[in-house]
A and B are shown apart, each in its own frame.
Chain A
C-alpha cells in the first residue's frame, strides 16, 4: 500500500525561551521529531509492506530522519516553519501529499506538542482520518486500525485514502545507528519552496504574551516531615478532599 509519513513539523515546547518580560522566543529552535513520530514511522511500515514510503517534512530539522528509518525518498519544504496558527503548515503539507497522487495513506505523529497541526493537515487534505492510532495493517476493506480513546481500545476497519495520527506508547525502541543515518543522507531529497506550493500566508498574528493567572501551588517545606504532613492534611480536610 502506498503510504507517506509526515515527520518533524513541530517545535518542542521545552525549547521555548521565556524572556524576562514574559515574551516567548523560538529563535534558533529547530523543528524536532515528536515522541509520536517514531510510531508514525512504524505504522507506515506496517501498512506499506514492500511498497516505498514517501517522507514529507518542513523546516530546518534533520531531513534524513525518516529516510534513516526506512523511507525511500523525502519531500522537504525547507523554508516553511511551524507557526502557532497551523492552517498554513497544514496546507503546505497537503500540497506535498498531492504531488504523489498514488498515495493511499498519510501517517503523522499525533503529538500534543501541537494538536492543531494534525487537525490542519486532515482538514486541508479533506481525507477521512483517525487520531490516537496505536497500530494499523492492511485489510480487505482497506486498513484495520487500532486506536486508544481514553481507557478504551477500538479496532476499526477504514477505507483508503485515510490520514492516521499515530500515538506512541513508549520511547523509540531501536533508533537507527550511524550507518543508517549516513546512508539515509544519500537517498533522494526533493526540496520545495513554500511560495510555490501555497502562496497564501496565515492571516493570524501574535499580538502579545501574558503570564496565566492560575494560582500557584501551596508549597510546604518538608524538612520537618511531621509538621508538613499535619499542615497538608488540614488543608486537604478544609478542601473536603479527605
Chain B
C-alpha cells in the first residue's frame, strides 16, 4: 500500500486507528508521518471514522488508500465523502497523468486491469501485494486518544482452533474433487509426510460432512497464511481463495486444465488427485 501511495509523489501519512501495537508496527514502515487514533480497547476502530474524515479535509490528500479490512473500508467511505473523492475497489496501482490520477483496478475476476482517470481526489480500496518498505528513521507520530464512541465491543470470540490449522506452516486443502470420505486417508498420509494441517472447502463440510466446520477455509470461515498451501480437487472459487490469499506459495492439483485455481497458484499439476496425492507422499519419503 505504501509503495503504491509513493507512486503519486509527495508525503505519505499513515492514519492508524487501533491499539498502540498497531501504531508501532506502522513505525517500522517508511511513512513520512503517522497519525494514530489510539482507540480504547473496548471500542472498534470505526468510532474514529468521522474524526478521520474531518482530519482528511484539513490534510487534503490527493489519494486515500485503505486495505479491505472491514473497519478500514468504513473509515475510507467517510473520508471519501468528506473529500468528495472518487471511490474505487480492487485497486492494484496508482499513477499520475495529465493532472489526473489513474487508478488501476482488477476487474472481470482479476483477468484484466481497468485504468480509471479521476480528476479530483481518489479514495481506493487496495488489493495488491504489500511490499516490504522498512523505515530508515521512525516517523513522527501524533497520538490522539479516543475513549468514547457510539459503538462498543462487548465480547470477542476467537475462532475454534482446528488441529493447528490457523498457525500451520503447511496446509493441504481438499475440495469436492476428493470424491468420497474414504479418499481422505491418502490426504492424511501426505499431511503426515509433509507435517501439514488439513483444510477444506465449504461444501466438503456443509454438503458432504467429510470434514468439520473448523477445517473450512475461506471468506466466511478461517483465513490462513501458511508458507505452503496445496489445494487438491478445489476449483478456486473467490470465496475459498480469499481465505488463502496470504499463503506464500500455492500449489493446485486439479484434473481440469481450465480450473479457475490455475490462474491463482504458483504451481499446478494437471492430473487426478487420487494419483498425484499418493505419488507426492511417496516422492517425499
Interface residues of A (CB under 8 A from B): 13-14, 16-18, 22-24, 35, 84-87, 90, 110, 112, 114-124, 126, 128-132, 141, 144, 147-159, 165, 167-170, 202-212, 216-223, 225-226, 228-230, 232-233, 235-236, 239, 241-242
Contacts and interface: CB of A to CB of B under 8 A. Distances in A.
Name the residue in B89, B223, B227, B280 with the highest tally of chain A Cβ atoms < 10 Å from its Cβ.
B89
A208 B115 contact: yes
B103 to A, nearest CB: 8
B102 interface: yes
Contacts of B280: 229, 232-233
Interface string B69-113: 111011011111110111111101000000000111111111111
A18 B112 contact: yes
Given A128-B50, A220-B267, 11 more contacts: A85-B88, A123-B79, A123-B80, A128-B47, A148-B70, A151-B159, A155-B155, A159-B151, A220-B270, A221-B270, A236-B228
A18 B111 contact: yes
Contacts of B152: 141, 156-158
B183 to A, nearest CB: 15
A4 B109 CA distance: 30
A218 B250 CA distance: 11
Contacts of A205: 116-117
Name the residue in A84, A210, A216, A218 with the highest tally of chain B Cβ atoms < 10 Å from its Cβ.
A84
Query: Chain B, interface size: which category?
Result: 35 or more
B166 interface: yes
A108 to B, nearest CB: 12
Nearest to B106: A212
Mostly helix, strand, loop or mixed at chain A's interface? mixed
A230 to B, nearest CB: 6
Interface stretch (B6-14, B19-27, B139-147, B271-279): B271-279
A112 B89 CA distance: 9
A130 B158 contact: no
Interface in B135-175: 150-159, 166
A24 B70 contact: no
Contact of B157 (A129, A155, A169, A170): A155
B150 A158 contact: yes
11 contacts: A87-B80, A130-B44, A152-B156, A154-B156, A206-B116, A209-B107, A217-B268, A218-B267, A222-B270, A232-B251, A232-B267
Contacts of A128: 46-47, 49-50, 150-151
B117 A217 contact: no
A124 B81 CA distance: 6
Nearest to A14: B109
Nearest to A89: B87
